[in-house]
Amino acid sequence: MNSFKKNIAIVLLSLVIPILYACNRPKAKTLNVLLVGNSSIYYNNMPKMLEYIAYENGKDIRTKLIAFGGYTLQDHLIDGIVEKTLDSLDWDFVILNEQSTLGGNYVVDGILRVKESESFYESVKKFDSMIKNRGSKTIILSLYPRKNAPKLDGQILDYSYMKIAKELGIKLSPVSYTWKDILKIRSTWQLYQEDNLHPTPLGSYITANTLYSTLTDNKSKSVSGEITGPLLEDFDGIVHQDSIISLLKIDESKSKLISEKAYKNVQCLNESGGYFTLRKPSEILVKVP
């Protein structure tokens, strides 16, 4: 009888200790993250994917999205919503996302192209000043170019994001580099919608994973299964909180590759002092009629 009671006590103790450990374990600090941009970051509810990745890795990231279709950072400055939101909470990070053409309307031979934009640089400077004055940290998202865009367009984008990040001493999230790395080795993966501009759910997951590594300096563990969240309207980014849909179904092998590439690029940036040294791309020669 005594032996039986002893065994029961051992079993109960083995159950209680993990519970006590879990209760006394320090809770992960909540990171409050404000995302400012346009449809390239609200498609497929990318912020919810970021929160999911954090949760699966024992982190607590809470996001707020201020993004409208076609918006530039200059548009956000003009309407003033972001500035008011900055005062509503102690944000840890504010992520800035510009249009895929840096907000410009630069057309060559009937095709929308990319060139350096003083308006983009000035908008980032003004936002960074607001953000720093409130004790938060700025992150600039290095966005990928449009699908099938000339190589020069992607080079100008990378150069412009890196230039302003280094000048202001702010973090850069190497989303474009991770997209390029993935497409080099998995060219059949569909990362772009049919419009050759917006991301598919898998493309949004790559963006979210890169942002996770940028925010935490950690590599996301592999996940497998379905990510769900509220529906966001593609047209205007309006959230339907009462409508929970499937955002993405992903398997472990895809997740592992993405997290490895995302973390590698963040590490490379860190090892380079936070910035890559990029040569200024050649300007496109425009024929004047």
What does the block give as tokens for 159?
């150069």
pLDDT for position 27: 61
What mean pLDDT do residues 166-184 have?
98
Q: How many CA atoms lie within 13 A of 72 on its CB side?
A: 17
Residue 155 CA, chain-centre distance (Å), reads: 20
What mean pLDDT do residues 37-49 have?
97
Q: Are strands 225-232 and 171-173 parallel, antiparallel or unpaired?
A: unpaired
Per-residue pLDDT tens digits for 83-141:
999 999 999 999 999 999 998 878 888 788 899 999 999 999 999 999 999 999 999 99
Tell me the three state secondary structure of residue 269.
helix
Q: Does the pLDDT of residue 16 top 90, yes or no? A: no
Q: Around Cβ 151, how many Cβ atoms within 10 Å?
A: 9
Tell me the three state secondary structure of residue 55.
helix
Selected residue with higher pLDDT from 3 and 237: 237
Q: In what order do the strands lie in the sheet with 93-96?
A: 60-67, 30-37, 93-96, 137-141, 171-173
DSSP state of 25: S
- Amino acid 212 reads Y
Selected residue with higher pLDDT from 22 and 78: 78
Q: Does the pLDDT of residue 267 top 80, yes or no? A: yes
Q: Are strands 111-113 and 106-108 parallel, antiparallel or unpaired?
A: antiparallel
Q: How far apart are CA 108 and CA 144, in angstroms?
A: 20
Domains in the chain, CATH or no CATH each: 27-271 (3.40.50.1110)
Selected residue with higher pLDDT from 196 and 287: 196
Q: Around Cβ 266, how many Cβ atoms within 10 Å?
A: 26
Convert 87-97 to b/e letters by CB count within 10 Å (16 or more is b). eeeebbbbbbb
Q: How far apart are CA 54 and CA 16, in angstroms?
A: 28
pTM of the predicted structure, to 2 decimals: 0.87
In terms of Cβ atoms closer than 10 Å to its own Cβ (0-12, 13-18, 19+), residue 160 is: buried
Determine which of 39-53, 77-91, 109-123, 216-230 has the lowest per-residue pLDDT on average: 109-123
What does the block give as tokens for 70?
């076609």
What does the block give as tokens for 198?
């917006």
Q: How far apart are CA 282 and CA 104, in angstroms?
A: 18
What does the block give as tokens for 273?
């002092």
The mean predicted confidence, pLDDT, of the chain is 89
> Mind giving me the DSSP string for 208-268?
HHHHHHHHHSSPPPP--EEEEEEEE-TTT--EEEEEEEEEEEE-HHHHHHHHHHHHHHHHH
The residue whose two tokens read 């908008």 is: 123
Per-residue pLDDT tens digits for 61-73:
999 999 999 999 9
pLDDT for position 274: 96
What does the block give as tokens for 267?
């590490």
Q: What are the helix (H) ranges across the chain?
A: 2-24, 39-42, 46-56, 73-79, 81-86, 118-133, 151-168, 175-185, 201-216, 252-271
Q: Does the pLDDT of residue 287 top 70, yes or no? A: no
Determine which of 100-104, 156-160, 205-209, 285-289 has the lowest per-residue pLDDT on average: 285-289
